């Protein structure tokens, strides 16, 4: 059984790219379009790893991570933050919210899988 990964991103382009990179690496992918949707899909799909954007409408990545960490079974699911912002403040805020790690956009599919392996082996 392949690992199920939830991607949360408001950009269709980014969602499509993640899906392409992840499915070709053999992962199952479910998607959400913002933090609020993310919490909903999380609850329904029980992913084993989450990749989320930070800057999103309705609920941003921080809110999503905090929300996810409040749900018992997602307390320690690896959550990777996907962002172009190399701003260290942002990474720290994401960590504070409960993120496991981060991926810098634009991502190299190979490195993406590498990071996933690093936090979900």
Partner 1 sequence: MDPMQAIKVTFFQECEEQLGELETGLLAMQEGSVDDETVNAVFRAVHSIKGGAGAFKLDRLVKFAHVFETTLDKIRNGALAPANAVMKTMLRAADVLADLVTVSREGGAFDDTRSNELIAELNAHCDEKAAVKEAHPEEEGDNNPFAALGWEPVSLSLEPEINEYLIVFRPKPELYAKGNETTRLMRELSRLGALTVHCEIADVPLLANFEPEQSYLSWRATLRSHQDIAAVQAVFEFVDGDCHLDIEPVEASEAHAEPVAEVAPEAAPEAVEEPKAAASVPREAAKAEAGGQGNATQNTIRVDLDRVDRLINLVGELVINQAMLTQRVLEAGAVKNASIATGLDDLEHLTREIQESVMAIRAQPVRPLFQRMSRIVREIADATGKNVRLKTEGEGAEVDRTVIERLADPLTHMIRNAVDHGLERPDARIAAGKPAQGEVRLSAAHKSGRVVIEIADDGRGIDRPRVKAIAIKKGLIAPDAQLTDGEIDNLLFMPGFSTAETVSNISGRGVGMDVVKRSIQALGGRIAITSKLGHGSTFSLSLPLTLAVLDGMVVRVADQTLVVPLNSILETMKPKPGEVYGLGPDTQVIGIRGGFTPLIDVGYALGFRTHRADPMSGVTLLIETEGGVRSALMVDAIQDQRQVVIKSLESNYGHVEGIAAATILGDGRIALILDTDAIVHSSSGRNSPSDMLLAG
Partner 2 sequence: MPAPRVIELPEYLDMPVAAQLAEAFLKLAGAPVAVDASKVSRLGASCLQVLLAAARSWKVEGHALTLSNASARFLEDLNLLGLEPDTFLTGVIAP
Q: Which residues would be at the binding site for partner 2 (CB under 8 A)?
A: 72-73, 75-76
59 near partner 1, rule: CB under 8 A: no
* CB of 53 closer than 8 Å to CB of 61: yes
* CB of 18 closer than 8 Å to CB of 60: no
- What is the bridge-based pairing of β-strands 28-32 and 49-53? unpaired
Least Å distance between CB 96 and partner 2?
19
Backbone φ, ψ for residue 26 (5° rounding): 95, 10
- Which residues bind to partner 1, rule: CB under 8 A? 1-3, 6, 10-14, 16-17, 19-20, 23-34, 37, 40-41, 44-45, 55-57, 69, 75-79, 84-89, 92, 95, 98-102, 104-108, 111, 113-114, 116-121
């Amino acid at each position: 059984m392949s690992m199920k990964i939830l991607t949360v991103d408001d950009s269709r382009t980014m969602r499509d790219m993640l899906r392409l990179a992840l499915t070709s690496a053999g992962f199952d992918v479910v998607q959400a379009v913002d933090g609020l949707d993310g919490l909903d899909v999380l609850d329904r799909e029980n992913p084993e790893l989450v990749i989320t954007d930070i800057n999103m409408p309705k609920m941003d990545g921080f809110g999503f991570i905090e929300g996810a960490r409040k749900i018992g079974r997602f307390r320690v699911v690896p959550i990777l933050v996907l962002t172009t912002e190399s701003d260290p403040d942002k990474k720290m805020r994401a960590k504070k919210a409960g993120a496991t790690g981060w991926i810098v956009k634009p991502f190299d599919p190979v490195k993406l899988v590498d990071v996933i392996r690093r936090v979900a082996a």
